[in-house]
Amino acid sequence: MQPSLLRALCVCMGLFGAVIEAQTSATPAAPGGSAAANLVEGRPVERRPPEKKDDHPSFPQQTRAPYRASAPFQITTLIDTLPAPWSLAFLPDGKILLTERLPGSIRILDKNGALSEPVAGVSALKAPDAKDIGVLDVVLDPHFATNHQIFFTFYDYIDGTNSNTWVARAQLDEAKCALIDAKVIFRAQPAMPSKRLGGKTGGRIAIAPDGTLFVTTGDRSDSPPWDVAQRFDNHLGKILHITADGAPAPDNPFLGKPGVLPEIWAYGVRSPEGLAFDPKTGRLWEHEHGPRGGDELNIIGKGKNYGWPVAVHGIDYPGKDIGEGVVHRDGMEDPVYYWDPVIAPSGLAFYSGTLFPEWQGSLFVGALGGRMLDRLAIVNDKVVAEEPLLMDLRSRVRDVRVGPEGAVYVLTDSGGATVSPNTPPTSKLLRLTPK
């Protein structure tokens, strides 16, 4: 039976005293403006034809999972005046760190909904010739309660475009709203102020149990794509693995090999904007933007090649095949799941909280192009069901995180769209709790 959608608004006493929307988890349209009138239990969410006309999965359950409705929830808007947010992290005292892409900054949102001024010391990290800085991901050190240390990624704006992605470390002084001893610990190479480096920054961070950092970097390619993700003399299109000091992690697969950058853990990725460890299995999961078709969800393994731009479930932007037009190549890893047409995934979080028992084992994927939050039910590392959420909001979703209390936090992204000359673009931070 198809779930209905409740659009009841009420003023409640919730976190930050915000207005709460009560709704079911289902919405009446499929991703990306599909012509499908309704979501139907047991049928694929996506019904449009693929961009790649001869696209086909390499194994069952690799794409177009069946729709499965779950628990109703309510939405609390924590703040709706963010200009260009990118990521968030939870502080032990209940406050939330928020990063802003441009102007690049880190801010602190308190429990009353008050947003701080930009944390001092961030812009000081930019290169001498940089005009601006763009802040991406932020994560807390596992020992933050005692060392107050954070890690974050950023890029410089040089000559009208952006350089490669850096990783920084600092101590956070909440009382002074400032960074202490901030330093860049890793600089991805090459740092070319070229028009070719205008996007696909990557920048997601996942901290391993041993305190080392996994970091994503995009391949920065235009059309047609270049082959840098398959080469070892650069950090473009890679999953990197470094220590808390920025050195190559000691268990990296290519240490000591001539012509190979030692920070490389895995390669052959395009535009990775999601990275998270599965708390049950310890496996590292990643998702990335495809071109026209072929957004991918991958399990990242040591030394593995993820195929870009050789094996692709999509086509180039002008409509031509990429390379030989194959979706599989021996010696390269197939995605666990893919979307064709694309949803432009951003943000990735496993649900392990207790507020939503039905969501246990789910993987949440934000969608910029799909304008939704996609819930994937995972069983034995396979996607067995899919449920698009928040589609009625018609908002790009930039990041998703599970809070320490088990609520799901969603960061929307206006994409720089201006409603009117007198209304600057704004984005929201939402909190999903049981209805």
Q: What is the 3-state secondary structure (H, E, C) of 253-269?
A: CCCCCCCCCCCEEEECC
pLDDT number for residue 6: 30
pTM of the entire structure? 0.91
pLDDT, tens digit only, all 435 positions of the chain: 333 333 232 323 233 334 333 333 333 345 544 333 469 999 999 999 999 999 999 999 999 999 999 989 999 999 999 988 999 999 999 999 999 998 899 999 999 999 999 999 999 999 888 888 999 999 999 999 999 999 999 998 877 777 889 999 999 999 999 999 999 999 999 987 666 655 789 999 999 999 999 999 999 988 899 999 999 999 999 999 999 999 999 999 999 999 999 999 999 999 999 999 999 999 999 999 999 999 999 999 999 999 999 999 999 999 999 999 999 999 999 999 999 999 999 999 999 999 999 999 999 999 999 999 999 999 999 999 999 999 998 899 999 999 999 999 999 998 754 444 565 668 999 999 999
pLDDT number for residue 4: 32
Which of 13, 64, 76, 7 shows the shortest CA–CA distance to 39? 64
Distance of alpha carbon 150 from alpha carbon 107, whole angstroms: 13
Distance of alpha carbon 46 from alpha carbon 43, whole angstroms: 9
pLDDT number for residue 193: 67
pLDDT number for residue 18: 41
pLDDT number for residue 33: 43
Distance of alpha carbon 263 from alpha carbon 201, whole angstroms: 17
- Identify any residues that bridge with 151 across adjacent strands, giving them in sequence order: 139, 169
Non-local (6+) Cβ contacts of 324 within 8 A are 310
Distance of alpha carbon 295 from alpha carbon 184, whole angstroms: 31
Determine how many CB atoms are found less than 10 A away from the CB of residue 382.
15
Report the run of H or E that residue 147 belongs to, with start and end.
Answer: helix 144-147
56, 226, 252, 367 from 339: Cα distances, Å: 11, 22, 30, 11
- Amino acid, res. 164: N
Query: What are the structural domains, with CATH classification, of the chain?
Result: 8-434 (2.120.10.30)
Distance of alpha carbon 164 from alpha carbon 242, whole angstroms: 16
* Angle CA 222–223–229, to nearest 5: 60
pLDDT number for residue 12: 30
Q: How far apart are the first and last CA of the chain?
A: 20
